[in-house]
Amino acid sequence: MIMLSRLTILLLLSITLSCSNKELIKPGEPIDSAYEKSITFYEKEEYSDAAYGFDLVTRMGRGTSYAKEAQFLLAESYFKNKQYLLAASEYERFISYYPQDERREEVEFNRALSYYQQSPRYRLDQGPTMRAIELFQLFNNSYPNSTFIEESAQKIDQLRNKLARKTYESGQFYLRTLRYKAAVIYFDQTLDLYPETQWAESALLKIIETYVSYAEQSIQSKQLERYNLAVENYEKFLQLFPQSTLRGEVESHYLQAISEMQKLETVASTN
């Protein structure tokens, strides 16, 4: 009985391996057969095997309709397998080889999405983030009536918020380490480069806070100038964000600056 069970298992295994071997793309296989097997892998969502097959077809069938379809599906296989770096490269190749293809709009959008998916946490290098923004903006300019335009705009907003946060957090770091000039530079960049993001308002608040703290740590001859910069930025804040929920905190820094300026002016008038 045990021997019979073992023979049954071996038979099933042999049948399974035989079926599996039939699906494999072999060296020298006709291009139409290799393509059809790759399609089968793709439809079964076996994207690694599909990508391997489509890559072979693009090499074997250059100049044929098989190669064109394989190039598109190669990029799609990598994208669906979350291999976004490879997907971006293959979408680029498709655009280069087949610039007049009717799927170019979709391909350009997916190329941008491939970089979007590579965008790391804000603390890390933002090269893919900036590339994704560039490609989404290019897409919007090229296809203003696209059905993807709204999603593209949303992705740009998300990515710009990430860049704004990275710049803002750099300012926070310098403020914490009492390097006030550097802190102001980064908070200013946040406000100037990303004025539409959620970080712009907080950055201007931090500029006011930074100048107040900087003045407190300065020699007396420099204090009035730096408190005055805090006041100027307070007035700028009221103009840019009149309905801000940060108004109370801003007012607190402003009143502190005014109070200290009055003390300095009193001291100056008695000397």
Quick: pLDDT tens for 91-145. Answer: 999 999 999 999 999 999 999 999 999 999 999 999 999 999 999 999 999 999 9
What is the residue-averaged pLDDT of the chain?
90
The pLDDT, as a whole number, for residue 61 is: 83
Mean pLDDT score, 62-68:
88
The pLDDT, as a whole number, for residue 48 is: 96
Model pTM? Answer: 0.84
64: confidence class by pLDDT, cuts 50, 70, 90 = confident
Quick: pLDDT tens for 135-172. Answer: 999 999 999 999 999 999 999 999 999 999 999 999 99
> Which stretches within the chain are classed as H helix?
2-23, 31-43, 47-60, 65-80, 84-97, 104-118, 127-142, 149-176, 180-193, 199-216, 220-240, 247-270
Q: Are 7 and 15 in contact (CB under 8 A)?
A: no
